[in-house]
Amino acid sequence: MRLLNQLRQEDDGGKMAFRIGPLNLNAVAQVKCTAGVLVLGIVLSLGVLGVGGLVFGSGDRSSRQDDSGVERLLERIQHGVLADDRRAAMSELQIVVAEDRAAKMAFGSMGFPIIMSIFRDEREDIYMIRGALETLLASVTSEGPVNEEQHGVVPHVVNTEVFATEDGSVGMLLSLLDEGDFYVRYYTLQILTALLTHCAGRLQEVILSTPHGITRLMDMMQEREVIRNEALLLLTYLTRAAEEIQKIVVFEGAFERLFAIIAEEGGSEGGIIVQDCLELLNNLLRNNSSNQIFLRETYGLQQIVLLLRLRKGSADGFTEQKSVNMLCALETVALLLAGSTNTVPGKDPNVVANQTVLGQNKLLDTLLSLCVEGRVSAVAIRCSGTVVVSLLLQALRCIGDLVVAHPKNRELLGSKIVGEEPDSEPALHCILRVLLRTSNLNECIAADYVFKCFCEGNPEGQTMLASTITPLPHSSSRGNWSSEDDRNISFGSMLVRALISSDGRNDLEASCRAASVLAHILKDNVPCKERVLRIPLEIPSSALAPAELLMPRCMRYLAAAAPSSADKLRNTNGASQDGSIWLQPVLLRLLVTWLTDCPPAVAALLEPAAHLPFLVELSSSSGSPASVHVAGLAAVLLGECIIYNPTKQGPKDAAVIVDVINERIGLTAYFSKWEEMQRTGLFTSAATSSRLPKPLTRSTAAAAAAGDGLATIAPDRQQQLSSFQESTNEGEPAVTTFYDSEFVAFIRRLEPVVREQIVEVFAHPRSRASVELIGFEPKEGEKESDYILRLRTMLQNQAQEMQDLVDRNAALAEDLLVNGRGKDDTSASEDGLPSNQAKRPQVYLASKAETDSLRQRLEALMSEREGLLSEIQHHKSLVSKVTSDLQGLSEAYNSLEQNNERLEKEVDDLRKIVASGSTGSSTPEQLAAAREQGREEALKESEGEMDDLLELLGQEESKVEKLRARLEELGEDVDALLEGVGEAKGDLDGDKD
């Protein structure tokens, strides 16, 4: 041993000129002395890697480190004779592995088989088992923060993967849970937790396949507090994304035990153990309908609601841990209300049942107390820490999930009054104030989500909110109001005041947020759109002053929010842009929602002559991060003006709009704006829809405690917010995100409809208005021949112009049809038309007309052919029926013939009996009388059957004659169809002969 230690010493002060490399265990010779003392023969492996080098290190000898005596200690443990010496070696090994990285690497390469043999063969030596577990725990955990090591490997992570792949290793650890020693079970649970941290899939598979594996872990929940807590932490890792394990854990009584632990720890006032219990509860409920049904029908949901209720004065002691616990409880509510990943609101019976039960348990009152001013002041809660920002926005999102597609809960929210007299007010009024005044983007989005869920599929609620929009006093529209005025004006008035306040730049955030809420109120509700269209914004200052409507004011702010040339120059140079550039997309989205299926709104938008050129100009916007959205949404708005245009003939009809688009920007550039918008990150991230919140673990809870609201938002919404924040500067005002999955789907459905409508416009040019015939009168002193020549020239020129217009329309329509996405020919002549248009139009129109004629003729022939085929099939079935009837008659006739033959045979037998004289006392006269009587009976029977047969044959013969005549009219070969009948008739005749 002294020689081994001497060889492993470092070269300090030049005492040694070399250093031994890693030992190759395959090359170690073990020699036993006669006295039983083991002598380790050392083979120098200079330039050759050992097991540790092959697994953990590179081949560079300069980077090798020794194993800090791990191999020597393992040798003592494996082959030692004295129990105390082996235990001492195990204790020393545990310290070395815990403190030295190289020792941890070396132990992972050679120590696991020895440790497993101790677990298997030395169960009676409890101290040895404890030491082995402590050493194994030190090898698969890290004392400090994990960093990427210089050699590119993390020892405890690699050790975890190696140990997890050992056959029987996990099963052996699970068996140690049956031991009575406290420390054995404690260390075993810690090791399993460490393995699950890095090899969750492998451990879940092994534990699920191990008999009574999960049952043993659940039994640990009944142990003393320390072991119970470790088992709780282990189960939180084990149940992540493992549906089968979740079901078994629930079957083993997890819900009952979890609620009992939460009650023991003090509910939401408890410590991190309550957080772990709620995290495990959320793992069991996430995307698992069966477990949700079991919880609802067995234990109820009342206990979850109780965790969120606040007592009076509790805001003063609102600690960070309590906030995290309530965040976990809100996540539980969100999971119950979200259903599975792709659940459509109102379509999942399980989610609807959860909404009903939670509504009955007064969850709405509890959530409102967390996010708006009421019985417990939300302002006081806000001041208690940054974590409460996440708590408030999660409560708002839960309100939205509670009322979406649930009529009873929506009605309850619409009629809910919060606060106490005289400061009480409607809940929706309070939520709107939160949306307009908060400085936190995530909280604003959560409040906007409440209105989206309330208005979705709720025309009565939309009408109720729209009915509160009333004209504002002249002073209020100029921004002269106080906070006290918020309680004295209606919901709609507050909304409109925020939307139109100032000039659209000084209060950008309120204008954007109010536009988003108004879009929810108007969505898919034509009566509300028409109602808002007619409501004046403010009471006129005088009787002569005209009342201004909301549509012109929105267009005015849309123009005012356009960035100036100096702004565009600053944006191009990378300077901080004005936040008002994001007002245009929000207002454009409001207008897009407003114009959908509402021709009066289209007419109101196009009524001022300046609006159409301004929208065309917006569709060519550039120079800012929001320009692609401005251009795309302006193109969508122009498309709606084409589709929903109520004017058939006039200066603002669809044909005029198409002509303006074609002349100003071109159809190719117009549709390219749609494509550029649909390729942006905001648009693509909004295409996916997931209502499941992100899992809140210990690490993400720490992020939430730091004020990161993204930790509690669904992954797809989080991606959209990240994309939005990346595209804006830090100093820019917070505005709502622009798109959701429904709006994205609407735009994708609208684009092909716009293309078809433009093709229709070009295919059917509108009729021209009558014009004055200027220049057609004869001039004074003009000769008749000159007058006729001038008229002919003028008519020829006009005819040529008309032909050019027809050719142009035909060419444009062809380009839209052929190129699909608006990809026109790149080559063009000087007059702006494609170079080959001079030859294409006439050929195209002629071929198109001929093709249409041939198609119609082919369709008529195909229809006639189908009718004939069906009629032929009907007659074939009739022929088949007649054939079967004839076969039945043939069989009846054969039966009659057989009966006659039988009777004749009986008569012959009687004759033979009479001739032989064997009749006894019968006289010849009696025999003759009997014979005559039998013949008469047989003839009567045969005559009756023959009459029936002849009558039936006559009927069938008339049917055959009628069918023959009809088939001959249809051109069918009757003989071919009746070949089988003829053969059958011949067979019958042969039988008769």
Give the bridge partners for 30, in sequence order.
Answer: 40
Q: Which residue has the higher pLDDT, 223 or 971?
A: 223
pLDDT single digits (tens) 407-443: 999 999 999 998 877 778 899 999 998 888 888 778 8
pLDDT above 50: residue 95: yes
Residue 309 forms part of a structural domain: no
β 417-418/29-32 pair status: unpaired
- Do 160 and 32 share a domain, yes or no? yes
pLDDT above 60: residue 168: yes
pLDDT above 50: residue 716: no
- Do 780 and 850 share a domain, yes or no? no
pLDDT above 70: residue 67: no
* Count of structural domains, the chain: 4
- Do 848 and 832 share a domain, yes or no? no
- Do 100 and 55 share a domain, yes or no? yes
Q: How far is CA 258 from CA 228, 265, 280, 331, in A?
A: 11, 11, 8, 16
pLDDT above 70: residue 570: no
pLDDT above 60: residue 446: yes
Burial class (CB in 10 A: 0-12, 13-18, 19+), 881: exposed
- Do 971 and 988 share a domain, yes or no? yes
Residue 15 forms part of a structural domain: yes
- Do 817 and 896 share a domain, yes or no? no
Residue 54 forms part of a structural domain: yes
Average confidence (pLDDT) over 99-105:
88
pLDDT single digits (tens) 366-403: 999 888 764 334 433 444 444 566 788 889 999 999 99
Average confidence (pLDDT) over 731-740:
51
Q: Which residue has the higher pLDDT, 857 or 121?
A: 121
State the residue range of the domain holding 904. 841-913+924-992
Q: Which residues contact 357 (CB under 8 A, 6 or more apart)?
A: 296, 300, 301
pLDDT value of position 38: 27
Is residue 840 a contact partner of residue 811, using CB atoms and an 8 Å limit?
yes
Q: Which residue has the higher pLDDT, 256 or 577?
A: 256
Structure tokens at 506: 């000084």
Q: Which residue has the higher pLDDT, 319 or 284?
A: 284
pTM attached to this predicted model: 0.69
Average confidence (pLDDT) over 274-300:
94
Among the candidates 788, 820, 838, a domain finishes at: 838
- Do 488 and 561 share a domain, yes or no? yes
- Do 100 and 4 share a domain, yes or no? yes
SS3 of 328-389: HHHHHHHHHHHCCCCCCCCCCHHHHHHHHHHHHCCHHHHHHHHHCCCCCCHHHHHCCCCHHH
Among the candidates 710, 726, 758, a domain finishes at: 758
Type of residue found at 730: E
pLDDT value of position 62: 34
Residue 272 forms part of a structural domain: no
pLDDT above 70: residue 719: no
Tell me which residue has tokens 């540790």.
52
Least confident of 98-107, 224-233, 468-477, 945-954: 468-477
pLDDT single digits (tens) 207-256: 999 989 999 999 999 998 999 999 999 999 999 988 999 999 999 999 99
- Do 869 and 786 share a domain, yes or no? no
pLDDT value of position 871: 75
- Do 640 and 491 share a domain, yes or no? yes
pLDDT above 90: residue 333: yes
- Do 754 and 854 share a domain, yes or no? no
Q: Which residues contact 571 (CB under 8 A, 6 or more apart)?
A: 563, 577, 581, 623, 624, 625
pLDDT value of position 806: 67
**Buried/exposed 214-237: b ≥16 CB within 10 Å, e otherwise:** bebbbebbebeeebbbbbbbbbbb
Q: Which residues contact 882 (CB under 8 A, 6 or more apart)?
A: 956, 959, 960, 963, 981
- Do 672 and 623 share a domain, yes or no? yes
Residue 590 forms part of a structural domain: yes
Query: Which one, of 564, 560, 562, lies nearest residue 552 by Cα?
Result: 560
Per-chain mean pLDDT for the chain: 76
pLDDT above 90: residue 347: no
Residue 410 forms part of a structural domain: no
pLDDT value of position 767: 55
pLDDT value of position 129: 94
Residue 25 forms part of a structural domain: yes
pLDDT above 50: residue 503: no
Structure tokens at 602: 């289209």
Sign of the CA dihedral with 271 first, then 274, 280, and 285 last: negative
Among the candidates 838, 867, 886, a domain finishes at: 838
Residues comprising the chain, all counted: 993
The 8-class DSSP code of residue 828 comes to: B
Residue 885 forms part of a structural domain: yes
